Chain A
Amino acid sequence: MTAAPLSGPLTGRARADRRPHSLAEWQADGGHAALGLARQQPPAAIVDMVAAAALNGRGGAGFPAAQKWRFMPAPGTIPGDGPSYLIVNGDEMEPGAFKDRLFLEALPHLVIEGAMIAAHAMHASEIIILVRDAYRIGIHAMEQAIAEVDAAGLTGRNLKIRVHASAGRYIVGEETALIEALEGKRAVPRKRPPFPAQSGLWGRPTTVNNVETIANIPGIVANGPDWFRGLSRTAEGGTKLFGVSGRVHKPQLIEAPMGTTARELIDRCGGVSGTGELLAFQPGGGASGFLGPEHLDLPLDFANVADAGSMFGTGTLIVLDTGTCPIGVIARHMRFYARESCGWCTPCREGLPWVAHIVDGLEAGTAKTADLDILHMTAGEAGPRGRSFCDLMGGAMAPLATGLHRFERQFADHAAHGCRA
């Protein structure tokens, strides 16, 4: 983790040494004030507040958070027996994403406070914070914080909170596969509809929210939606914990307003390293399409990046300089996604390993020009929404499809000679 100073409404609350606060420290710092405020209001009011704040989910899909909460039914209207659940998704396995880690390790009480407010707003009585197993420090910090909160009686009589360490892989980050994993089954996504709010964990109403999304809730409640919208440069509210990795001098996390440009972020990181000249960047982690130098001044938010032909996703940039072989980067991505395919549906299960094999072959010089047809076919046939069972394939095809277009010359060259970089 970067040692540069963090500032901003979210990260500015972290301790300088990045250790988590104790409950006493957190409360002394103004923590849980928002929780108190929220509990005095009816759930619908909180939902309206979050809606007015224009908070888009920070997990990758960018779905408006409040709209997801509105799907949750009120108690007494739900068939069956059992609680409603809020699941906080800390699975963070997207290549290039390392932002949720900061919240889990350094701001656990912020996450818990946000989760309790959200649970109140959506009538949930159980909160499960699912963290990827590799984030052992974050898991420990969250468990400590929950123990403190429980001991202090802050959860009240009816709310249960626990941490669950994921035993699975990348696909567990997909919200319905996450729910399957929590039920002890193979982490295979579910088809929606029915939506988790209708039939989720154990068939009960469930909402899955990203850690960063939840971390924004106390601020909204404490300071109001107008304040939150005012933090942003675009219509999408709040700040964003951007990450920058790859060919920059100082890779780091940066909290900045929504709508900050890639140029600003890369400058903050000391500029492009290697040759010093930008070749391309992926704005949203491994599963987003390549953007180029022409997009350096694009205000980064979900709508703008989508219009530019990519995906905002987790807001963690991967930067390539002109000295990096883009085929190698794509090969690395394809190998990851092929390995992480859950094996449920045909295009991803059979198509991704095939693509990975071919791109590896391009690097090694064993692939042929005819193999490029298969890359184009897979990107064209399996990329569009609805062709595969979930969006893993669509995400994996984004760097491939944009790469085939943007790096056409390099692909042809590799097919003829292998990697000469």
Chain B
Amino acid sequence: MTVRLTIDGRQVEAQEGEDLLTACTNAGVEVPHFCWHRAMGSIGACRLCAVKVRRHEADPGTIEMACMIPVADGQHIDIADPEAAAFRGHVIEWLMRNHPHDCAVCEEGGDCRLQDMTIASGHHLRRAGPDKRIHRNQYLGPLITHEMNRCIACYRCTRFYRGVAGGRDLDVFGAHDRVYFGRAEDGVLESPFAGNLAEICPTGVFNDRGWSKVYARPWDMLETPSVCPHCAVGCNIGLSVRANRLRRVISRSHPAINADFLCDRGRYGPLFIEGPSALKAARHHGHAVPLRTALDQAQEAIAVSAALGGAIGIGSPRASLEANYALRRLVGPEHFFAGLDAAEVALHRRLAAHLANASIASLADIAAADAILVLGEDLTGTAPMAALAVRQASRAAERALAAEKHVPAFLDNAVRVAGEGRRAPLVLVTPVPDALDAIATHPLRRAPADIAGFGHAIAAALAGKRADPDASAAAAALAAASAPVIIAGAGLGDPAVLDAAAAIATALNPRARLALFPAEANSLGLALLGGEGLEAAADVPGRGAVVVLENDLHSRCDPATIARLFADRAVIALDCVETATTAIAHTVVPVASFADAAGTCINHEGRAQRTIAARPDSAPAAWRVLAAFGGGAEAGLDDLQVALARDCPQFAAIAAAAPAASYRTPSGRIARAPARFSGRTASDSAGGDAAPPRDPDSPFSWTMEGGALPAELFQGVRILAAAALPPPAQAPAIGGAGLILIPLHDPFSVSETDRASTILAARAPGPQLRLHPADAARLKLAEGAIVSVEGRTVPLVLDKHIPIGHAGLTTRRTTPRRLMPEGSK
């Protein structure tokens, strides 16, 4: 219901049940605040949002905290009221009493809410003496710095860490002006969302440690919108660059996807482009050569391939759609392969087909759900931000009870109390203990081979048939919900699990939504583009060149298949990071990473999103290189997309994911550089200035000339259209001897790009093999032994939660299979 009130003399409308601060913000009026956050509601701690509230025009009014007051018809709010403004100034004065004078040496300076609110308050004269309370800092891990003297006790960090992310090891200690935010002891923060503390903290207590090491002031960095390439969620990020170096990654708000946060993999992973494994130099036969030489060699090898049966192209689920398409166009659709094993190709095709026929859940839909089933997927490992959304959904029951007790929804602490600890139904079916167990109402363990069957049992129970008690309980919980979401993914490599999830969603129609998480950022795009698996590629007769696009084939299938594929062929590898494949390729061509070229990825919802180049000086875009091999590159990305849409009509809509390169704001291109950008003339010599580079693939400029980013044009666009479902999947035949694989996912390290980010690798636990003690004893392997499995050596960890007869292994290739680990010499 709408409510009419007056803010500083201006009539506005608000929604009943909103707090005043939200209403003011929605009306475009800024109310100074620290502790309020739109993702965490109101707690009334900082007292900065004081405004004068008059219940009606003639009321003399009282000072109230805008975040804690509900809107009411006829209210008059005076933000500029002298009494309120004076009080806000004193709140800043109180905070400044203990705040250190270290803006000059604080990373937050320039992007600091405390600085901004201090200027806004008008307080500028220090009356407090020099004695300030001081704290000892803690080492909290490689990702985040800790400088407690700066703390203004807004409590945002613990509210996010504990209340939103479910972490337990960060808390508040002490009392009065000695309250302390940290761990009970120094140690690495455990939550995979800890990096958000750097953005949430309104002062410099928590900062991005990686950025601090390559620090540049916020006003000195180019800001480019982009999309995280590290999983299929496709969170929106911002890339901050100076002197052609990526310095930090920040969250960029997308209301349907990541809202205001990121996981640590997405925040620190993209720095792989600055890591030691970043591939920058071209090579031919193992020797560094100029790029032109490598390109010529590659082009010749491809030209020669025509007489040798034709060149083969191996695509990649981490390369952009345009790059994959350019390769496919170069070698022809029959010779284009997906760069995955056949099982994973089939899995993702199946996943795409199910999504196309379903009511797809975005992360926002997941967070708003009132019952969730997770079938087999370790969400915290494969799609961490989806796990964060599930944590928010868990609170649905608490919110409902609080509403019954007439507790305003914006009073976050009051809602948590009134909710009596209720949790919305979360049925969590996984092979091993899961990070979400603590909030699951039905935490269930099933062996990987049994999960699909359990899913079908739930579907049967929903249809009224008899099922085992666990399935019946799960069905009952889902049936009673008004917005259930069914979640599964590629994490176990089992297409039957996807079928079961889709069946459950169908049984719950029309209320249910389905979320299926592919393995990688562009897995869905690649599945829609087409291309068979690596086994089929190895079967292709002839000995034409094989062009591998941004893919570490050695992590995709067994060495024998790769050997067959590469035998007697010229291997040309295009990549932005060193891999086992680039190490053995004959010609290595460095191409742009996701951060260096505009491109499109299709995320788990079927949403096409555009990355934009963030560094002006980098390797050429892969699609350009491939198009040039074919005899002529289009001028810009938009032109290539025209060709792509023509050849593959399923992608006709991707051009709407972002504005075309010809788009202009009223002030011209979209400026990447902020208006104050220092050091421009520090090294120049008159007459020696080169013209600034131009970006042919986007409407952005590399300078400060231009206008502001129109965020609403960068939301991406969903492209999936209903399609025919392939026949039911055959249960994967897991032949052979050995232990059945349980793929282990961890939030910090999945692919070669994650591992190539030094700062993320410092946080990641490292690959491991986990065995039940009984199986280990049988194989005569001890805890900590270095074990050889699938051509890798990994340490062994004994874990009684691994079902007997199974082996947990951190591996990217999830295709069900058996492992035969051996002690390595």
Contacts and interface: CB of A to CB of B under 8 A. Distances in A.
Q: Do chains A and B touch in the complex (CB under 8 A)?
A: yes
Given A343-B174, A345-B44, A346-B47, A203 B86 contact: no
B420 A169 contact: no
A346 B417 contact: no
B46 A346 contact: yes
Interface in B49-101: 50, 62-65, 68, 86-87, 90-91, 94-95, 97-98
Contact of B417 (A82, A199, A342, A386): A199
Given A191-B44, A346-B48, A350-B97, A339 B91 contact: no
A381 interface: yes
A174 to B, nearest CB: 14
Residue of A190, A346, A386 with most partner-chain B CB within 10 A: A346
Contacts of B63: 384, 386-387
Interface residues of B, number: 48
Interface string A393-409: 00000000000000000
B637 to A, nearest CB: 50
Contacts, number: 128
A321 B65 CA distance: 41
B95 A190 contact: no
Contact of B179 (A343, A347, A382, A384): A343
Given A346-B45, A346-B95, A347-B47, A353 B90 contact: no
Interface in B397-415: 401-402, 404-407, 411, 413-414
Contact of B94 (A82, A338, A340, A351): A351
A169 to B, nearest CB: 7
Contact of A339 (B62, B176, B179): B176
Contact of A350 (B98, B155, B402): B98
Contacts of B413: 190-191
**Centre residue among A82, A202, A353, A357 by max chain B CB count within 10 A:** A353
B176 A341 contact: yes
A194 B405 contact: yes
B128 interface: yes
Nearest to A192: B414
B420 A198 contact: no
B216 to A, nearest CB: 32
A350 B90 contact: no
Contact of A203 (B44, B62, B127, B417): B417
A280 B37 CA distance: 47
Nearest to A183: B417
Contacts of B116: none
B778 to A, nearest CB: 45
Nearest to A169: B175
B47 to A, nearest CB: 5
Interface of B is mostly: mixed
A190 to B, nearest CB: 7
A389 B45 contact: yes
Contact of B153 (A80, A199, A202, A346): A346
B419 interface: yes
A204 interface: yes
A89 to B, nearest CB: 19
Interface in A348-406: 348-354, 357, 370, 373-374, 377, 381-382, 384, 386-389
B405 A345 contact: no
Contacts of A350: 94-95, 97-98, 177
Given A80-B401, A199-B407, A346-B47, A352 B153 contact: no
Contacts of B418: 80, 194, 198-199, 203
B539 interface: no
Contacts of A202: 417, 420-421
B153 A343 contact: yes
A191 B63 CA distance: 16
Nearest to A73: B405
A204 B420 contact: yes
A227 interface: no
B172 interface: yes
A186 B181 CA distance: 13
B468 interface: no
Contacts of B127: 370, 373-374
A79 B399 CA distance: 12
A338 B98 CA distance: 15
Interface centre among B87, B95, B131, B176 (most CB of A within 10 A): B176
Contacts of B133: 353
B176 A338 contact: yes
A81 interface: yes
Contacts of B44: 191, 345, 389
Contacts of B179: 343, 349
A344 interface: yes
B176 A354 contact: no
Contacts of A377: 90
Among A169, A194, A352, the most chain B Cβ lie within 10 Å of the Cβ of: A194
A284 to B, nearest CB: 23
A116 to B, nearest CB: 26
A204 B418 CA distance: 7
A340 B175 CA distance: 7
Interface in B107-128: 127-128
Contacts of A199: 402, 405, 407, 414, 417-418
A8 to B, nearest CB: 38
Contacts of A388: 47
A357 B94 CA distance: 13
A81 B420 CA distance: 8
B87 A203 contact: no
A353 B405 contact: no
Contact of A354 (B45, B94, B174, B411): B94
29 contacts: A80-B401, A80-B404, A169-B175, A191-B44, A198-B405, A198-B406, A202-B417, A203-B417, A203-B420, A339-B176, A343-B172, A343-B175, A345-B45, A346-B48, A346-B153, A350-B94, A351-B94, A353-B133, A354-B97, A357-B131, A373-B127, A377-B90, A381-B90, A382-B90, A384-B63, A386-B62, A387-B50, A387-B63, A388-B47
Given A199-B417, A354-B128, 8 more contacts: A198-B406, A199-B407, A203-B421, A204-B420, A340-B176, A347-B90, A349-B179, A350-B98
Interface of A: 79-82, 169, 186, 190-191, 194, 198-199, 202-204, 338-354, 357, 370, 373-374, 377, 381-382, 384, 386-389
A-B pairs, top 5 by smallest CB distance, nearest first, are: A350-B94, A79-B404, A343-B179, A199-B418, A341-B176
